[in-house]
Amino acid sequence: MKQGILVSIMIGGVLVPAFSQTPSPVRKQFGPVTAAKMTSIPNFVLPAMYKDRTAHPLPATADITKQKWMPPVGTWGINGWACANASAVSYAYTYEEQMAQNLATSGGTPKYTFEYTYHFLNSANESEGGDGWMFVEAFDILKATGGMATTDFGGMSWGNGFGGWTSGYAKYYNAMKVRASEYYKIDASLAGSDELIKQYLYDHADGSSAGGMLVFQMNSDDIDKHMTTVSGRRVISSMGNAGGHALDIVGYDDTFNGGSYLLVNSWGEGGGNDYFWAKYSLFKTGAGLANAQGTPVMFVNVKKNYSPMFALKVSITHNQRNNIAIMTGVAPSAAATTATKNMDYAGAFNFGGGPFPMMGIGQSSTIEIGLDVTDFVPLLTGSDARFFLHVISKGGAGTINSVTLMDYTSGTAKEIASTETNKTIAANATTTISIPWTGKVSTLVGGNGLSRTQGASDCFAQPGLAHRGGNPVRITMTGTGASQARLTVRDIDGRPIFSSASALNPASGSAAMSWEMKDSQGASVAPGIYFASIQLLQGSKVVKSGSAKISLID
């Protein structure tokens, strides 16, 4: 985050320095995705196992629209410039979430509404806050807050006329449980990119039973003039000359028209016009697609079986929501007066929504939201901590009515309310409320530097809390009668990111293996929670297995 100007405010008679980071800016519509932002999005790399095409052949065709998780395609009240949010949230993300939950599509509208992210990105005006690239901002918000179910939001098009922001902690808590984990890009203009795209469409490039969906933007003006029919299928012969529009890739066919991708139009034209085909070669020329960094095609992963450990329940009243930004922080000591780490929520609640009450034009000035602060867990290195809520104000009038820390670490929600209530939000300053927390951090990270997952069998990672760039993590497990050990490290979504194997002495069978906090391509992994598992093998028979949790911090 960019460093901001330090200011100080008086809280409880004590001069406290306001927090020193500014919230992430939201890109204006029709502005370019900056080179720095595009570079920060990880490139998708084909896993090593697919180098053996005899063992992992890539079929000639794939079509995920036949999967039970495919969202319904339709107009469902899309207005303004919401195509990127619709393609990202109500198509690609909804598909991934339903697949993760093995939840078949039902009804005529997607399970998760794009309006949730879109309303954070406009000024309560449906003609603002979107263009063909704004699936990047949508994915960022999904990573930070999760996606809101259409029923929780109030309907597929709720708030269209007034830029509605939903109120109710339970709704935000439900969204937290379905957070996206990361999104990746493929430069479709490069040689070899078709193999990456097709592998993801076929099996998510991880051996899944079905493939996934990818998002891209194209020029769409006068697109109907470029439509033809080939062997009974609608085909686009070239891209438009202007007008950014986001679509999804949902299949491919090597045998059709020289090799083509199946596209779905996020507007949902109806009448059988929702789908059409585009040659692979159109993505190579870049005409109607390219920007300064090639032709990015992106997909999103979601957290599987995720449940927040900590969250803040916040009630705020304000008359001009575009004049405030809401952020959180933590310090690894209950005695701390300032946060050592802060985070915003990727443009949600960051000086957006126009000069209107918190819930939108003509709506209530008071809103209750939930903010997941589980990402701070790797920083809880002691027996206590302090969580912070920051409201950065540029004007207007408002109040932080209440802040409650929701602690789910025991399996049952424990509410710890701040003693500070009804605190006036100081204009042109940062107003902070904090809550101390005491708990058994060892149950979250691992006591004495060791970490073991619940139910594991004598498998330990030391240290359980590791610093990236520090000494390798050592994973051990004891057993006998095995001649080989296999180590696999997975991210929080269960995707394998690293593996290795070593021979053992059958008499001892004890395994001691190391992980240097890098993926299989040798790139350093991001901070977060990982799971290391060891299998002790005798031939193909698994003698013993176990797993350990590793929390990585910078």
DSSP assignment string, 89-111: IIIIIHHHHHHHHT----SSS-S
Instruction: Kindly report the CATH class assigned to 447-553.
Output: mainly beta
pLDDT by residue (tens digit) across 530-548? 888 888 888 777 788 888 8
Helices (H), 368-446: none
Alpha-carbon distance of 417 to 407, in angstroms, equals 11
Residue 312 exposed, middle or buried by CB count within 10 Å (0-12, 13-18, 19+): buried
pLDDT at 175: 98
The full set of domain ranges for the chain reads 43-50+57-302, 307-443, 447-553
Q: Omega into 25 within 30° of 0, i.e. cis?
A: no
pLDDT at 393: 95
What φ, ψ does residue 251 adopt, rounded to 5°? Answer: 180, 175
Residue 455 exposed, middle or buried by CB count within 10 Å (0-12, 13-18, 19+): exposed
Q: Provide the 8-state DSSP code for 353.
A: S
Mean pLDDT of 207-235: 87
Mean pLDDT of 74-88: 80
425-448 residues labelled b (16+ CB within 10 A) or e (exposed): bbeebbbbbbbbbebebeebbbee
392-403 residues labelled b (16+ CB within 10 A) or e (exposed): bbeebebbbebb
Alpha-carbon distance of 168 to 248, in angstroms, equals 32
pTM of the model: 0.81
Alpha-carbon distance of 243 to 246, in angstroms, equals 10
Other beta carbons less than 10 A from residue 179's beta carbon: 21
Closest residue by Cα to residue 213 from 253, 163, 237, 248: 248
H or E stretch covering 227:
strand 227-230
Helices (H), 5-158: 35-40, 83-85, 94-101, 115-118, 135-145, 150-153
Query: How sure is the predictor about 2, in pLDDT bands with cuts at 50, 70 and 90?
Result: very low
pLDDT by residue (tens digit) across 349-362? 999 999 999 999 99
Average pLDDT of the chain?
85
What percentage of the chain reaches a pLDDT higher than 90?
49
- What are the distances in angstroms from CA 175 to CA 85, 99, 307, 492? 16, 16, 10, 17
**Quick check: 214 pLDDT over 50?**
yes
| Contact indicator for 148, 174 with CB cutoff of 8 Å | yes
Rounded (10°) angle between helices 169-176 and 135-145? 100
Mean pLDDT of 88-97: 97
Residue 454 exposed, middle or buried by CB count within 10 Å (0-12, 13-18, 19+): exposed
Q: What is the CATH number of domain 43-50+57-302?
A: 3.90.70.10
**Quick check: 279 pLDDT over 80?**
yes
Mean pLDDT of 196-222: 90
**Quick check: 378 pLDDT over 60?**
yes
**Quick check: 524 pLDDT over 50?**
yes
What percentage of the chain reaches a pLDDT higher than 70?
87
pLDDT at 133: 82
Mean pLDDT of 511-527: 85
Alpha-carbon distance of 243 to 426, in angstroms, equals 42
**Quick check: 200 pLDDT over 80?**
yes
Strands 233-236 and 244-253: what pairing? Answer: unpaired
73-94 residues labelled b (16+ CB within 10 A) or e (exposed): bbebebebbbbbbbbbbbbbbb
The CATH-assigned architecture of domain 307-443 is Sandwich (2.60)
pLDDT at 6: 31
The token duo for 54 is 């005899």
Alpha-carbon distance of 223 to 236, in angstroms, equals 8
